[in-house]
Amino acid sequence: MRFVSFHRDGADGAGTIVPGFIDDRTPGGPWVVDVTRPGNAPWAAALPADMLAWTEMGLAALAGRLAACEFPPPARMPLARARLAAPLPRPGKIVGAAFNYHDALRERDMAPPAAPVIFIKSGRTVIGPGEAVRLAPGVGNVTYEAELAVVIGRTALRIGPDEAFDCVAGYMTLNDVSASDMVRADKAFVRGKNQPTFCPCGPWIATPDEVPDPEALAVSLRLDGIVRQAGSTRDLVFGIAELIAYASTQMPLDPGDIIATGTPAGVAASHHPPAWLRPGSAMSAEVQGLGVLTNPVLTSDVS
């Protein structure tokens, strides 16, 4: 099942973001189903109106119950008309993996690291499809980074790779926007990865049954219609299970946390001239089967 968060309009909650799912089976679809809308099946309407809470409940189990339930027409809207938000509007944390694609390392003439190189990105950097990445004054040389993201569904602490996939709630597309100058100046990731709006996510979370082999997915990014990245998760240095297991030795992973698995070759600095983000541009990141995540680039409205 594909889970979404979207803006519910109308007198019953104008401006609120609520969770739902995409219904491909009902004629006329695909539809976004407003699960917690009054008038639905009582158990569904009583669900918490928050995707993080759904993730804690278990998306796979919830998908089974929702698939067996009929929702009246007022609970459905065409996917093309829905205003989608980030599937997890406020995740706990994003654990990013650096230097994790063989092609990107070859592009930089770097050897693969001996162990995963990870960093933390605040959940408050997250924005959804169509929302603007904002470039603040003085933040120069900003790049896109299309990535496969893994959503954690249960607590993981000091687990082994053989247990890792049991902790996966689903997969989605993520764009790890990064201020390269800050990373270089600081020799650290914190500031350059954690500027506001620097983590577009979406358009949906797909449960694992929708993604038969997450390590065989095309990953791409277009900037103003030009293909800038075109890789595959087959090229990961450390696979998904290894990343989850390693991260769990460094910190607890909790339901709703996100593992960003790294980005393939083709980031902005690798092009001639460099393809740094500029106000007025638009990025479209895509992971095969997980939808296209498009975001405009604008000047920050906060000085």
What confidence tier does 12 reach under pLDDT thresholds 50, 70, 90?
very low
Q: What is the pLDDT of residue 111?
A: 97
User: Mean pLDDT over all residues of the chain?
Assistant: 95
**133-156 burial: b if 16+ Cβ within 10 Å, else e:** bbbbeebebbbbbbbbbbbbbeeb
pTM across the whole model: 0.95
Residue ranges of domains in the chain: 2-85, 93-299
Distance separating alpha carbons of residues 113 and 264, to the nearest angstrom: 15
The string of pLDDT tens digits covering residues 220-270 is 999 999 999 999 999 999 999 999 999 999 999 999 999 999 999 999 999
Distance separating alpha carbons of residues 56 and 1, to the nearest angstrom: 16
* Contacts for 287 with CB less than 8 Å, ≥ 6 apart: 146, 147, 148, 171, 172, 173, 217, 218, 219, 233
Topology, domain 93-299: Fumarylacetoacetate hydrolase; domain 2 (3.90.850)
Helix segments in 24-93, DSSP class H: 42-45, 51-57, 59-67
The string of pLDDT tens digits covering residues 194-224 is 999 999 999 999 999 999 999 999 999 999 9
What confidence tier does 300 reach under pLDDT thresholds 50, 70, 90?
confident
Q: What is the pLDDT of residue 11?
A: 42
* Strands 226-232 vs 199-206: parallel, antiparallel or unpaired: unpaired
Q: What is the pLDDT of residue 10?
A: 47
Backbone angles phi, psi at 280, to 5 degrees: 100, -15
Q: Is the peptide bond before 72 cis (omega within 30 degrees of 0)?
A: no
The string of pLDDT tens digits covering residues 74-122 is 999 999 999 999 999 999 999 999 999 999 999 999 999 999 999 999 9
Residue 180, burial from CB neighbour count under 10 angstroms (0-12, 13-18, 19+): middle
- Judge contact between 177 and 197, C-beta under 8 A: yes
Residue 154, pLDDT > 90, answer: yes
